[in-house]
Structure 1
Amino acid sequence: MRKTTPTALPSTNLACSRRGFLKLSGISAVGMGSMMFLAGCGPAAQETDDAGSTADDTAAATSFGSDGMLRVGMEAAYAPYNWQVSEESEFTMPIENVSGAYADGYDVQVAKLIAEEFDLDPVAVKLDFSGLIDALNSGQIDIICAGMSVDPERAESADFSNSYIDDDIVMITTEDSPYVNATTFADIAGATVLGQAATMYDTVIDQIPDVTHATPAETVPLVVENLANGRCDIITYSMLSVPKLIEQYPNFVELQMEEKFEGSAMPDNAAIVKGSDAEIMDRINAVIDGIPEDERQDMWNACMDRQPA
Structure 2
Amino acid sequence: MTHETVDVSVRSAMRSRREFLKLSGLTALGIGGMMFLTGCGPAPLESADDAEGSSASSAVLGDGVTLRVGMEAAYAPYNWQVSSASDFTIPIENVSGAYADGYDVQVAKIIAEQLGMEAVAVKLEFGSLIDALNNGQVDIVCAGMSVTPERASAALFSESYVDDDIVMITKKDSAYAGATTFADLEDASILGQAATMYNDVIDQIPEVNHMTPAETVPMVVENLRSGTCDIITYSKLSAPKLLEVYPDFVELEMADAFEGSRMPDNAAVAKGNDAALVRINEIIADIDEQDRQDMWSACMDRQPA
TM-score (norm 2): 0.79
Whether the 8 Å contact between 1:162 and 1:270 is mirrored in structure 2 is: yes
Q: How does 1:265-276 map to 2 (within 5 A)?
A: 265-276=262-273
In the alignment, what sits opposite 1:159? 156
In the alignment, what sits opposite 1:224? 221
1:93 matched to 2:111? The reply is no
In the alignment, what sits opposite 2:132? 135
In structure 2, runs of 5+ residues without a counterpart are: 1-20, 25-57
Q: Which amino acid aligns with 1:198?
A: A
Q: Cα offset for 1:227?
A: 1.5
d(CA) in 2 for partners of 1:204, 1:289: 30
> Any idea what SS the aligned residue of 2:237 has?
helix
How many residue pairs align between the two structures? 252
Q: Runs of 4 or more off by more than 4 Å in structure 1?
A: none
Q: Cα offset for 1:100?
A: 2.1
Q: Which amino acid aligns with 2:117?
A: L
Q: 1:188 aligns with which of 178, 185, 189?
A: 185
Whether the 8 Å contact between 1:65 and 1:120 is mirrored in structure 2 is: no
> Any idea what SS the aligned residue of 1:240 has?
coil
In the alignment, what sits opposite 2:11? none
In structure 1, runs of 5+ residues without a counterpart are: 1-18, 23-60
Q: Cα offset for 1:86?
A: 2.0
In the alignment, what sits opposite 1:120? 117
In the alignment, what sits opposite 2:230? 233
User: What is the CA deviation profile of residues 150-206 of structure 1, one whole-angstrom value per residue up to 9, with x for unaligned ones?
Assistant: 111000000000011111110011111222121111121221111111211111100
TM-score (norm 1): 0.78
In the alignment, what sits opposite 2:289? 293
In the alignment, what sits opposite 2:167? 170
Whether the 8 Å contact between 1:182 and 1:255 is mirrored in structure 2 is: yes
In the alignment, what sits opposite 1:247? 244
CA RMSD of superposed structures (Å): 1.8
User: What is the CA deviation profile of residues 45-79 of structure 1, one whole-angstrom value per residue up to 9, with x for unaligned ones?
Assistant: xxxxxxxxxxxxxxxx9961324111111111211
Distance 1:149 1:120, change over 3 A: same
1:280 matched to 2:276? The reply is yes
Whether the 8 Å contact between 2:74 and 2:217 is mirrored in structure 1 is: no
| Pair member with larger Rg | 2
Q: Which amino acid aligns with 1:147?
A: G
In the alignment, what sits opposite 2:23? 21
d(CA) in 2 for partners of 1:125, 1:302: 23
Whether the 8 Å contact between 2:170 and 2:231 is mirrored in structure 1 is: yes
d(CA) in 2 for partners of 1:242, 1:20: 14
